[in-house]
Amino acid sequence: MTKEVHCAHILVKNEKLAREILNKLKAGEGFAELAKRKSNCPSGKSGGDLGWFGKGRMVPEFEKAAFEGEKGAVIGPVKTQFGYHIIKVLGKR
C-alpha cells in the first residue's frame, strides 16, 4: 500500500488555462518549466515540486488524484478550493 507520494503540480485559476497547459505538456513542453511560468502556487518557483506527503496533508480532491495516479502520470485538471491543478506523480513509496 502506498504510504506517501511525491508530486509536482501547476495551479491555475480556471479550467480553460489548465487545459491549455495540458495540451502544451502533451506537445512536449517541460512540466517544471511550465510550472515556473504559469503556476499560481509558490511551489511554481521550484518547478511545482511538493515533495513527499502522506494522506491527510492535502485537500481531498488533490490527495485522491495523487494517490490514484501511477508514477509518471500527469493528471488533471483537478478542481479544488484553490483552483485547477495539473498533477504529476513523481514517485510512490
Each domain of the chain, given as residue ranges in start order, spans: 4-92
CATH number of 4-92: 3.10.50.40
Can you say whether the dihedral through the CA atoms of 24, 38, 9, 84 is positive or negative? negative
Please tell me the distance from the alpha carbon of residue 93 to that of residue 78, in angstroms, as a whole number: 22
Q: How far is CA 9 from the centre of its chain?
A: 3
Q: Which residues of the chain have pLDDT under 50?
A: none
Phi, psi of 4 (to 5 degrees): -140, 150
Type of residue at 5: V
What ranges make up the beta strands (E) of 1-60?
4-12, 49-54
Among candidates 40, 43, 37, which has minimal Cα distance to 11?
A: 40
Q: How far apart are CA 54 and CA 34, in angstroms?
A: 25
What confidence score (pLDDT) does residue 12 get?
Answer: 98
User: What pTM, to 2 d.p., does this model score?
Assistant: 0.95
